[in-house]
Amino acid sequence: MTTKTRGLAAVIALALAVFAGSQQAHAQAESLRIGIIGTGNIGGALARHWVNAGHEVFMSSRNPQELQALADELGPRAHAGTPAEAVEFGEVMLISVPYSAIPQVGAEHAAAMAGKIVLDTSNPVARRDGGIVPMALELGSGVATSQFFPGTRIVRAFNCIPAASLANQPNREPARIAIPLAGDDSEALEVAQRLVDDAGFDGVVVGPLEVARHFDLGQPLAKGDLSADELRALIEEVL
Ligand SMILES: NC(=O)c1ccc[n+]([C@@H]2O[C@H](COP(=O)([O-])OP(=O)(O)OC[C@H]3O[C@@H](n4cnc5c(N)ncnc54)[C@H](OP(=O)(O)O)[C@@H]3O)[C@@H](O)[C@H]2O)c1
């Protein structure tokens, strides 16, 4: 290669790198289509934050007409329908239901969700969720949920922030509230981090799905009001 052609090759390589970088930045900035199963306190608050951040959300209910007023209030980026429609719509899913509903939601929708990123906020709570609770707490709810949603990319998220803080304290000053995350899929964790950030909180990856049990309710990392620095210090202490 002559000096001239080497120079030309370097210029082309640089141009390609700049193009690839701008494509990546563009992909990261693109809005996501998020399907929500369980649009209650948690799902409804997140729908609002994500619409405000520019994403498109499909909120679902077994009685979809009950969500129409919220969809109208949130505007054209918000839609309401059935859980099956939410699954069809969402490239990313949020599951936020009482834990007792997890087996049924999995049986009905996991196949259609195969390959999708699924954020799961659902907590096993003894007084509410009955027979599934001991198994879920023993495995840890991350691993337990993944058994009902084979083939999906589960991330535990938003499970230990109180609903009022989630609704009313996005972008808390002077430090945002931290959301512990756990998952086995690195791309899913990246997308979850972005969605936590877009909702106005700081995602802190604790580790693979197996460690989600450390922030099941009542466990040492289940703190709903720490900053990211405080949560990282606690993780160092606990794990
Ligand atoms: N509240 C909190 O402070 C908080 C904080 C963190 C995590 N969590 C956890 O997050 C989950 C949701 O909490 P939430 O407070 O948002 O509960 P919620 O207000 O009661 O909402 C739960 C939603 O789940 C849906 N649902 C129930 N059974 C279903 C089924 N079989 N199939 C499909 N959808 C079903 C219901 O929708 P339809 O009846 O309209 O279908 C309901 O809107 C729970 O597991 C909770 O423990 C709660």
Give tens-digit pLDDT for 91-143.
Answer: 999 999 999 999 999 999 999 999 999 999 999 999 999 999 999 999 999 99
Which pLDDT tens digit goes with each residue over 29-85?
699 999 999 999 999 999 999 999 999 999 999 999 999 999 999 999 999 999 999
DSSP-derived letter for residue 159 is S
**Residue 237 half-sphere exposure, CB side, CA atoms within 13 Å?**
8
Contacts of 58 (CB under 8 A, 6+ apart): 33, 34, 35, 36, 79, 80, 81, 85, 86, 89, 90
Mutation choice for ligand 1 from 41, 48, 67, CB with most ligand atoms inside 8 A:
41
Helix 102-109 with 141-148: angle, nearest 10 deg: 40
pLDDT at 20: 46
In angstroms, the CA 191 to CA 185 distance is 10
Task: Specify the CATH superfamily of domain 31-238.
Answer: NAD(P)-binding Rossmann-like Domain (3.40.50.720)
pLDDT at 6: 54
Which pLDDT tens digit goes with each residue over 138-194?
999 999 999 999 999 999 999 999 999 999 999 999 999 999 999 999 999 999 999
* Helix residue spans in the chain (DSSP H): 3-29, 41-52, 68-74, 83-89, 102-109, 126-129, 133-139, 141-148, 163-168, 186-199, 228-238
Answer whether 62 contacts ligand 1 (Cβ < 6 A). yes
pLDDT band at 27 (very low <50, low <70, confident <90, very high): very low
Answer whether 180 contacts ligand 1 (Cβ < 6 A). no
Contacts of 94 (CB under 8 A, 6+ apart): 34, 35, 36, 37, 38, 43, 46, 118, 119, 120, 121
Does residue 8 register a pLDDT over 80?
no
Does residue 222 register a pLDDT over 80?
yes
Per-domain residue ranges for the chain? 31-238
Residue 52, Cβ density class (10 Å: 0-12 exposed, 13-18 middle, ≥19 buried): middle
Mutation choice for ligand 1 from 37, 39, 42, 70, CB with most ligand atoms inside 8 A:
42
Does residue 5 register a pLDDT over 90?
no
Does residue 13 register a pLDDT over 80?
no
In angstroms, the CA 231 to CA 205 distance is 10
pLDDT at 21: 44
Mutation choice for ligand 1 from 36, 96, 177, 201, CB with most ligand atoms inside 8 A:
96
Instruction: Record the pTM.
Output: 0.90
% residues pLDDT > 70 (the chain): 88
pLDDT at 9: 53
pLDDT band at 26 (very low <50, low <70, confident <90, very high): very low
Atom number in ligand 1 closest to CA 99 = 45
Does residue 2 register a pLDDT over 80?
no
Atom number in ligand 1 closest to CA 83 = 33
Does residue 237 register a pLDDT over 50?
yes
Question: Do 166 and 45 contact (CB within 8 A), yes or no?
Answer: yes
Q: Identify the three-state secondary structure at position 225.
A: coil
Answer whether 97 contacts ligand 1 (Cβ < 6 A). yes
- 66 phi and psi, to 5 degrees? -70, -15
Q: Whose CA is nearest to atom 10 of ligand 1?
A: 122
DSSP-derived letter for residue 114 is T
